[in-house]
Amino acid sequence: MKLYYSPKSGHSHRARLFLSLLGAEYELVEVDLAARQHKSADFLRMNAFGQVPVLEDDGLVIADSNAILVYLARKFGRTDWYPDDAPGAARVQRWLSAAAGQLVQGPASARLATLFGAKIDAQSAIDRAHALLAVIETELEQTGWLAADRATIADVALYSYVARAPEGNVALDAYACLNGWLDRIESLPGFVPFKIHPVGLYATGDPLAHLAGA
């Protein structure tokens, strides 16, 4: 398998993280976003939306990070990560939808402003981020995980942009359950970290700067 990715992309990291958690063998192929390789004719043949990540598996191409998570869970028969019963699958899907919606509109968008210089209303993105984090915090009070009594692809889908929310000036210190959840994910066998960039609350160079206050 080949994973076409960017090391700055949280969507890419969630796919890479799940591959590693599964212990799957794969090759990383970096796509240079600054050089617009994701908009090249060759890349657009793999993903017409011109977005990373893309997974290539023996001639089969899977685009979209959440689709990659589902594909990998099904490919390897990992119902522990993606339940095959209707209620369990629905609980996971709820959070995959949040990862494609509220997560993008909140923490991911706030990070775009600091890391990529995107011209967006950063404060509105920060406000949306905290609204989402408050929901996650409440959810985690039950079992410590988002969709089950263990880690699932729901947790993988949310992890990367939540963990790096401080890059978008979104502080995490007010969320005790959420911070415990981050620690549990980072303790899973096969975990691979998402690089910290010195922007937002990390601009001081202190990796704990996100604990400075909301």
pLDDT, residue 12, reads 97
Do 156 and 90 have their domain in common? yes
Do 154 and 187 have their domain in common? yes
pLDDT, residue 212, reads 37
Please state, in angstroms and rounded to a whole number, the distance separating the CA atoms of residues 61 and 38: 15
Q: pTM value? A: 0.92
Residues near 138 by Cβ (< 8 Å), separated by ≥ 6? none
User: Which parts of the chain sit beneath pLDDT 70?
Assistant: 205-214
> How distant, in Å, are the alpha carbons of 43, 80, 139, 184 from that of 133?
34, 25, 10, 17
Please tell me the total count of domains within the chain.
Answer: 2
pLDDT, residue 18, reads 98
Do 13 and 93 have their domain in common? no
Within-domain flag for 112: yes
Residue with tokens 């939808």: 97
pLDDT, residue 47, reads 85
Name the domain boundary from 75, 104, 131. Answer: 75
Nearest CA-CA partner of 10 in 104, 144, 98, 121: 104
What's the pLDDT tens digit per position in 68-86?
999 999 999 999 999 999 9
Q: Give the DSSP letter of residue 106.
A: I
Q: Give residue 9's domain range.
A: 2-75
pLDDT, residue 99, reads 98
pLDDT, residue 94, reads 98
pLDDT, residue 206, reads 56
